[in-house]
């Protein structure tokens, strides 16, 4: 089996799990803060199809095949006006996805260590250790990338939660340019 196909077969489920749980965490945090939007739209599910963005999914496959690029899931809808506390809600919803990816990375670290020890002692598969290392790297990368404070990334929600008055207003207006800024940074 070719290395590209093997990478696709191993990493695609890991990426799907990581992206889906990231988005569900946003929706659940929003729900806990008083916003039922994600629940109303059936997005508090681990069914990958509910979170599938067609272009984002193609980009995920492209990234796995080419080794370069990025992909995304469909963002969970959140209505900040439904929050009991808008600033706290923005911070918690922004943190929920990256924190989930950090927890997943930690969870994958345990079997990774066992797989490495087993492989070194001749009883395990180095491929399993490699796949688990990939899961750790993917989740830490997702967490780190999403914490960048450029809209629409999660870091921008966290920053917004700490801003007041006109500063918060002007920062929120960056959202309309955020994707352009993000693409420019990714292409550099």
Catalytic residue, chosen from 23, 90, 100, 104, is 23
Torsion sign, CA atoms 60, 61, 64, 66: negative
Q: How many CB atoms lie within 10 A of CB 80?
A: 19
Q: How many CB atoms lie within 10 A of CB 49?
A: 7
Closest CA to 99 of 22, 42, 176: 22
Residues 90 and 19: beta-carbon distance below 8 Å: no
Q: Is 175 tagged catalytic?
A: no
Helices 3-32 and 86-120 meet at what angle, rounded to 10? Answer: 150
CA dihedral sign, ordered 92, 86, 163, 18: positive
- Angle at CA 180, nearest 5°, toward 43 and 31? 20
Known catalytic residues? Answer: 23
């Amino acid at each position: 089996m070719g290395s590209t196909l093997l990478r696709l077969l191993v990493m695609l489920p890991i990426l799907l799990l990581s992206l889906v749980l990231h988005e569900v965490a946003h929706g659940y945090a929003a729900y806990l803060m008083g916003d039922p939007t994600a629940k109303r739209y059936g997005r508090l599910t681990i069914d990958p199809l509910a979170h599938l963005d067609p272009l984002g999914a193609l980009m995920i496959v492209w990234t796995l095949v080419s080794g370069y690029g990025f992909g995304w899931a469909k963002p969970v809808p959140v209505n900040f006006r439904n929050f009991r506390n808008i600033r706290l809600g923005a911070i918690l919803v922004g943190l929920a996805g990256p924190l989930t990816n950090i927890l997943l990375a930690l969870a994958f670290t345990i079997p990774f260590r066992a797989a490495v020890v087993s492989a070194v002692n001749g009883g395990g598969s180095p491929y399993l250790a490699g796949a688990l290392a990939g899961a750790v790297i993917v989740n830490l990368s997702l967490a780190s990338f999403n914490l960048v404070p450029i809209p629409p990334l999660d870091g921008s929600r966290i920053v917004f939660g700490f801003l007041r008055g006109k500063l918060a207003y002007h920062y929120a207006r960056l959202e309309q340019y955020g994707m352009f800024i993000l693409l420019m940074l990714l292409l550099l």
